[in-house]
Amino acid sequence: MYFPEVKNHPDKYLQRCPESVKKWLKQLKSAGKILLLITSSHSDYCRLLCEYILGNDFEEYFDIVITNALKPGFFSHTPNQRPFRTLGK
């Protein structure tokens, strides 16, 4: 029920990321750091949030984006217990 409400009124629930944070993320990548986003949210919800918060180019801030991670099991299960699906851009 909350997803349609957030989708229809993101400004009511979300705050845009300051340019200073975006600049910091770019500096980290430029310094050779690998940036990843791991969330238990579904990919469509993650995309909605990230596009609103960081912009339509949010994927450029991260080297890896993992959705449906089912945390905390993502970190404690063996690799065969957490299959990966790859979604193209």
Say which residue the tokens 């979300």 belong to: 14
Specify whether the CB–CB gap between 59 and 68 falls below 8 A: no
Is the dihedral angle over the CA atoms 38, 29, 85, 44 positive or is it negative? positive
Specify whether the CB–CB gap between 23 and 61 falls below 8 A: no
Specify whether the CB–CB gap between 50 and 17 falls below 8 A: no
pLDDT tens by residue, 22-48: 999 999 999 999 999 998 888 899 999
Instruction: Say if residue 57's pLDDT is above 90.
Output: yes
Gyration radius of the chain over CA positions: 15
Tell me the C-alpha distance between 69 and 84, whole Å. Answer: 9
Tell me the C-alpha distance between 79 and 84, whole Å. Answer: 9
Lowest mean pLDDT among 32-36, 69-73, 79-83: 79-83
